[in-house]
Amino acid sequence: MFSLNLDSHEIQQVLNADISHYACDDFYVYFSNQKDNGFLYRANLKTGEQTFLAPIANALNVQILQGKPYFYARAVDPSPGVGVVTYRIDTTNWSYERLMYYEDFYNTLK
């Protein structure tokens, strides 16, 4: 992952990782690390320091919602007939929970 300074056009590497899916806020990039089963990590945008967040394998999507103290990740569930599941990750204590139904996700958007 690289950053581009729009004024100087300087390109600088921010993160050296095998990133699949990601989202950023002002301080961190949250991403699926393909070198580690697609588990969720975050990296400090200034230092590049990576931190393991959750053993949610094969994360397909990471979604940050402005003003919310959590973000969402969708991942492949290996259980037959399930498909994709959604997790909510709390950014205050880094706990996570699996949302059983899409309505659980939809209701948190209100």
Q: How far apart are CA 69 and CA 102, in angstroms?
A: 19
Instruction: Write the CA distances from 5 to 8, 59, 63, 70, 71, integer angstroms.
Output: 6, 29, 25, 29, 27
Q: Which CATH architecture fits 2-108?
A: 6 Propeller (2.120)
For the chain, give every domain's residue range. 2-108
pTM: 0.78
Q: What is the pLDDT along the chain (110 residues), one digit of tens a residue?
A: 888 889 999 998 888 888 888 998 888 899 998 888 888 999 998 888 999 998 888 888 898 888 888 888 988 876 666 678 889 999 899 999 988 765 666 666 66
53 φ/ψ sector (left φ>0, alpha ψ -120 to 50, else beta): alpha
Residues 6+ away with beta carbon under 8 Å from 70: 88, 89, 90, 91, 108
